[in-house]
Structure 1
Amino acid sequence: MLEIICKRLVLAIPTLLLVTVMAFCLQKLLPGDPVLAMAGEERDPQVIQALRAKYHLDDPIPVQYYRWLASAARGDLGTSLRNQEPVLSLIASKLPVTLELSVLSLLIAMIIGISTGILAAVRKGSWLDHVANVLSLTGISIPHFWLGMLMILLFAVKLRWLPASGYVSPAVDLVQNLRTLLMPSLVLGSGLGAILMRHTRAAMLGVLRADYIRTAKAKGLLPLRIVLKHALRNALVPIITLCTLLFGEILGGAVLAEQVFTIPGFGKLIVDAVFNRDYAVVQGVVIVVAVGFILLNLMADVLNIAINPRMRRA
C-alpha cells in the first residue's frame, strides 16, 4: 500500500509542474495590466516603475516563474495585488466555505445517484428504470444557474422557507448555516447525482451479469444480500473514482452556485480575482485546486485498493 502511494506521489510531481507552467503562462495572456490599475487615475510613470520593481514584474518571464515557483514550494503563494493580503490567508478564509458546500452537494449526489442507480439496475427494463433514466437526463440537462433561480423564486420568495442568499458560519449558527447551504447544495447535487446514477446503473448491470452472482442466486441467498454485499461491493470501484472526481469538480467549479446564492467561497474568490486582474490570487487558486485533484485521486486509489485487494498488484 505504501509503495503504491509513493509511486502515485512521484507521478504527480510532473503533473503539478505542468499545471504551474500553464497557470503562470495563461494568466500572462489575460488582458489588462494590474500595475496600471494599482497606479490610480494619474498613472505616474515613477509610481508604475516602482510598483513593477516591487512585485518583480519587470523581470523576464522565466525569472518571474522561477521566483514564484520557489516561493510556492515554501508555502508562500504571494500577496494579493488588490488588497495586499497574503494569498494563502485569502484561500484559507474562503476554502472552508466551498469545502462545506462541496461535501453537502456530494452527499446529496450520492444519496440520489447511488440509490436510484441500484434500483434502476435491479429493475432493468421496468417503469422504475425508465423513470430513473428520464430524471437523470433531466438533471444533466438543466443549467445550474436556472435551477438555482427557480429554487430561490419558489422556496425563498413564494414559500419563504429558506433564505435567498448569503452565508452563516456553522460556528455562529449551525441551523442557519444548513438553511443557507441547502438550496445551493441541492442545485449542485442534483446534476452530479444524475451523472452518478447513470454510472452506478452501468456498473451494477455489469456486475449483476457475472457468474458469481448467478451462483449466489442458485445458493438461495436473499436478493437484498446479493445486491448489497456481493454486487455493490464490486461495482464500487468505478463509483468511488467518479465520486472523487465529482468532488474535485464541485470544489473547482462551484462558481455559478456561489454567484447565484452570494456565497463568499472559493469560486467567488477566483471570479473576483480574474475581474480585478489579481494574478497572484488566480495562480494560488489554480495551484490549490490542482493539489486537491491529485490528493483526491490518491484517496480514490487507496479506497479502491481497500475494497478490492486485487488492485494491489496493478
Structure 2
Amino acid sequence: MWLLKRFGSSVLLVFLIVTLVFLGLRLVPGDPATVLLSQGGVAVTPEAAAGLRRQLGLDQPILTQYVQSITAMLQGDLGVSMQDGASVAEQIARRLPRTLELVAMAAVMALVMGGPFGLYAATRAGGWLDRIGLWLSALSESVPNFVIGSLLVLVFASILRWVPTGGFVPITENIGRHFALAAMPAFTMSVTLFALVFRMTRTTCLEVMQRDYVRTARAKGLTPRRVLYAHVLRTALMPVMAAFALNLGILVGSAVLVEYVFNYPGLSSLMIDAVNARDYPMVQGCVLVISVIFVGLNLLVDIAYGWLDPRMRNA
C-alpha cells in the first residue's frame, strides 16, 4: 500500500509537470508558425501563417490540443518535430545517452573527490585542509555552473589549449577525443554535487564519531582505522548516499546550461533549440523524459529508505 501511494504520487507529479509545460508554452509570446516560416526564408504572410497553424493543429482550441497531446503521450507517441518533421522519440533516444553519460561521469567525479575529502576533513576537523575544503565547497555552491564552465573553457581551452573548446565525437570513432570532449562539461556539472558530498560526509562522520558505541569501540582498544571504517562509515554513508541520489536528478537539469556552454549535443541542448524554435512537441517530449528521470530517482530513494527503515513506510 505504501509503495502504491508513492508510485501514484510520482505519476501525478509527472502529469502536473507536463500539464504546466503545455500551458506555459502557449502563454509564451510568439507564434510558432511565424517563427518556423521566418527560419525557412518564406515570406511570412498572414495567409501562410494561418495555413501552417492549421497544418500543425494550432488553430484548434487549447483544450482539444491538450487532450490530443496527453492521449498521444499515454500511447507512447511523442509526436513529430515542428521544425523538420523528425520523430521526437527518435531524437530524444539519440541525444539522451549523451546527457546520461555526462551525468554518470559527473556523479563519479563528485563521489571520488567529495567522499574521501569529506572523510579526511572529519578526522582532522579544524585543520587547514578542513578549512580549505569548507571554503571550496562554499565557493562551488555559490558560483553558477555556466560561469565555472566558461572559466574552464577560457583557461584550459583558449589560453592553455590543453583540451578542445567543445563539441562531440562518438566513442566508436575516437574514444580518446570522446572522453576529452566530455571531461570538462562533466567536471563542471560535478562541482555542485562535490560540495554536497563533501559537506554531508564531513558532517555525518563528525556526528557519528560522538555517539556512544563509537566511544565504546575506541575504549575496547580498536585501532582508529578499524573504528572509522567498521563503525563510523557504515552509519554515516546512508544519509550521504540518500542525498546524493536525490541530487542526481538535479544534475540532469544542470546539464541545460552546461551543454550549451560546451556546445555538447545532448538532450538539454536539444530542448533549448526547441524552445527557441517554439517546437512544442519537442519541448514537451524533453521535459517529459527529464521529469520521469528526476521523479523516478526520488521514487527509488523513497523505496530504499522504506526498505532500510520500516518506520518510513508510515510517513
Does TM-score exceed 0.5, indicating one fold?
Answer: yes
Counting only pairs closer than 5 Å after superposition, residues 199-278 of structure 1 correspond to structure 2 as 199-278=200-279
Q: CA RMSD in A?
A: 2.1
> Is 1:98–1:265's contact at 8 Å kept on the other side of the alignment?
yes
Q: What's the offset of the Cα at 1:193?
A: 0.4
Q: Percent identity?
A: 37
Structure 2: give runs of 5+ residues left out of the alignment: none
Q: Deviations over 1:149-192 (max 9, x none)?
A: 33223322343322121111112222211111111112221232
Counting only pairs closer than 5 Å after superposition, residues 99-138 of structure 1 correspond to structure 2 as 99-138=100-139
Q: What's the offset of the Cα at 1:45?
A: 4.5
Separation in 1, partners of 2:116, 2:54: 58
Q: What's the offset of the Cα at 1:54?
A: 3.0
> Is 2:305–2:312's contact at 8 Å kept on the other side of the alignment?
no
> Is 2:193–2:247's contact at 8 Å kept on the other side of the alignment?
yes
Tell me the equivalent position of 1:77.
Answer: 78
Separation in 1, partners of 2:18, 2:110: 31
Quick one: structure 1 residues 66 and 275, their matched pair in 2 at CA, closer, same or farther if it must change by over 3 Å?
A: same
Q: Deviations over 1:106-131 (max 9, x none)?
A: 11111122222222222222223212
* Stretch moving more, 35-44 or 125-134: 35-44
> Is 2:79–2:88's contact at 8 Å kept on the other side of the alignment?
yes
SS in 1 for 2:161: coil
Quick one: structure 1 residues 50 and 309, their matched pair in 2 at CA, closer, same or farther if it must change by over 3 Å?
A: same
Separation in 1, partners of 2:93, 2:209: 45
> Is 2:111–2:197's contact at 8 Å kept on the other side of the alignment?
yes
Tell me the equivalent position of 1:27.
Answer: 25
Separation in 2, partners of 1:6, 1:297: 14
Q: Does residue 1:284 correspond to 2:264, yes or no?
A: no
Quick one: structure 1 residues 229 and 8, their matched pair in 2 at CA, closer, same or farther if it must change by over 3 Å?
A: farther
Q: Does residue 1:151 correspond to 2:152, yes or no?
A: yes
> Is 1:240–1:304's contact at 8 Å kept on the other side of the alignment?
no
Structure 1: give runs of 5+ residues left out of the alignment: none
> Is 1:112–1:190's contact at 8 Å kept on the other side of the alignment?
no
Question: What amino acid is the match of 1:14?
Answer: L
Say which of 20, 31, 36 aligns to 2:34. Answer: 36
Q: TM (normalized to structure 2)?
A: 0.90
Say which of 7, 10, 21 aligns to 1:9. Answer: 7
Q: What's the offset of the Cα at 1:263?
A: 0.5
Separation in 2, partners of 1:255, 1:303: 28
Separation in 2, partners of 1:238, 1:311: 16
- Count of residues in correspondence between the two structures: 311
Separation in 1, partners of 2:257, 2:51: 37
> Is 1:108–1:186's contact at 8 Å kept on the other side of the alignment?
yes
Question: What amino acid is the match of 1:118?
Answer: L
> Is 2:115–2:197's contact at 8 Å kept on the other side of the alignment?
yes
Q: What's the offset of the Cα at 1:304?
A: 4.0
Question: What amino acid is the match of 1:223?
Answer: P
Q: What's the offset of the Cα at 1:226?
A: 2.3
* Stretch moving more, 147-156 or 256-265: 147-156
Question: What amino acid is the match of 1:42?
Answer: A
Q: Deviations over 1:246-290 (max 9, x none)?
A: 221121221222122111111211111111111111111111111
Q: Deviations over 1:39-67 (max 9, x none)?
A: 45433545434433333222221221111
Tell me the equivalent position of 2:179.
Answer: 178
Q: What's the offset of the Cα at 1:311?
A: 5.4
Separation in 2, partners of 1:221, 1:53: 77
Separation in 1, partners of 2:313, 2:276: 48
Q: TM (normalized to structure 1)?
A: 0.90
